[in-house]
Chains A and B, each alone.
Chain A
Amino acid sequence: MATLVSLREAAAELLHDGDSVALEGFTHLIPFAAGHELIRQRRRGLTLIRMTPDLIYDQMIGMGCASRLIFSWGGNPGVGSLHRFRDAIQTGWPAPLAIEEHSHADMAARYQAGASGLPFAVMRGYVGSDLPKHNKKIKSIECPFTGEILTATPALRPDVTILHAQKADRKGNVLIYGIIGIQKEAALAAKKVIVTVEEIVDELNAPLNACVLPSWVVSCVCVVPGGARPSYAHGYYKRDNAFCMAWDGISRERETFRAWMERHVMRTADFAEYRRSSEAEAKVSSHR
């Protein structure tokens, strides 16, 4: 059964240096608050897993949390490049970053295999692509029935998966709606699951066939209103596009990036304080 604890306690108890961790959410419900907490707790040597390492992984990589990245598309959606991600790969700053690169369909299949208790995923993938030449985990397999050549890649089994969701009930059953991405597969593939939620409600009122993670597959539920900002939570708040664009400037140089992270993440106690700090600065700069 999921326990209702603070995000600080959940992260400290369940996640350790060197672990593999998936923070998922396909452009929607990205667990920013949880990513910040791992940065604050100075986690090191993590294998970060995520289909779309966007701003949150840019921040974690730039703050030195990661030694390895498993991904399929690394950019600032609708804006451009991730400067910290690029700096880590191109120059090894602040620490060398090994990469394991796949396609979206492959990452989705790998999580599904993990959730399904299978050792590998099978798919029609990468025909004519150079990626398999550089990623030894992408292999070919012959179909035992038709002889067709297909792609096989190993299951993903993160030590910890972290998600953000709209709500949970008091028992810790979690409801996710809107673009549900890869959340269910990432949760069921993992050994431990942390979910931050917008709110705790008496009744989930989940429609039949809704995406629900039952309490007994979730390790910890943490209430963090706005915990997906600057991404969005369907039914609660919209994506903060102004911040996503501002991030391009903040993150471009190492010094401005570090100063921003120190001021708003390292010197704040939690996500609520971070939001007051960063939103106050955003207001000032928008009035300039």
Chain B
Amino acid sequence: MTIAAARRLRNGSVCFVGIGPPSAAANLARLTHAPDVVLIYESGTIGAKPHVLPLSIGDGELADTADTVVSVPEIFRYWLQGGRVDVGFLGAAQIDKFGNINTTVIGGSYEAPQVRLPGAGGAPEIVTAAKEVAILLKQTKRTFVERLDFVTSSGYFERRGGNGGAKVRGRGATTVISDLGVLVSDPATNELVLAAVHPGVSAEQVRNATGWELRAAENLEITPKPSASELAALRDLHARTAAAHGGAAGAE
């Protein structure tokens, strides 16, 4: 999942990075094919080049290795809302077939939820202000669901009309990278379509791990196997991170 996501990041692009798997993938891209990718974290670090993966979105490592550190209002208003971000790399608790994200509540009602999740963070505006968004999420029927209990941040469908006249600049969630394959949004239907399966995974397996009737692209691809250099870079990054933080923390 990390390697497949890293490959999607173009060298020189400006990436707004979420913590956890998205951060691992974005840094792997920086350490392999995309040395000039600009990583922005919502804590205000622009051009961060962390030697080890940060545990939190505001680790000192990000500040120490950044081109500049700005305030939180500045990062959201000038850099994100101002239209400087090419791609948002985000995680989620659940998504639906339109790439809508839930990180708020599961079960019950909003007022009396069965499970209360952390909430929105920066995502509602990242998904609309970045030119496009990639979501990284392990694929199961519990995480890829037919209907979300709550739409925290909108996906691809919501880009098209409606929304009371509010405009958005970006295309929204165009890509979902899971541990099983890669899904891309189909502009004709706004639905996520299975575009590639990872080596050794069948389309049937992916469908069985999806809560909706998942369509596969006609020319379904197989993700190229990780190269030796990609695997080495990822292992080194995780090893450095584990040594710095103690234990396996951050090695998601």
Contacts and interface: CB of A to CB of B under 8 A. Distances in A.
Contacts of B118: 73-75, 81-82
Main SS of the interface on chain B?
A: loop
Contacts of A225: none
Contact of A129 (B111, B121, B124): B124
Nearest to A81: B118
Interface stretch (A162-170, A173-181, A270-278): A173-181
A72 interface: yes
Nearest to B155: A128
- How many interface residues does chain B have, given as a range? 35 or more
B77 A108 contact: yes
Nearest to B152: A129
Interface in A238-282: 238-239, 241-242, 244-245
Interface residues of A, number: 58
A103 B76 CA distance: 11
B42 interface: yes
A105 B43 contact: no
Nearest to B109: A134
A274 B104 CA distance: 34
A242 B246 CA distance: 8
Interface stretch (A11-19, A85-93, A198-206): A85-93
Interface of B: 19-20, 42-45, 54-60, 62-63, 69, 71-73, 76-77, 80-81, 100, 104, 110-125, 127-129, 150-155, 158, 163-168, 245-246, 249-250
Given A90-B115, A105-B76, 13 more contacts: A27-B57, A78-B250, A86-B115, A104-B76, A104-B122, A106-B125, A127-B128, A128-B151, A128-B154, A178-B63, A179-B58, A179-B62, A234-B60
16 contacts: A26-B43, A27-B56, A51-B72, A72-B119, A77-B57, A78-B56, A103-B120, A105-B125, A109-B76, A124-B128, A128-B128, A129-B120, A134-B111, A211-B71, A241-B55, A241-B249
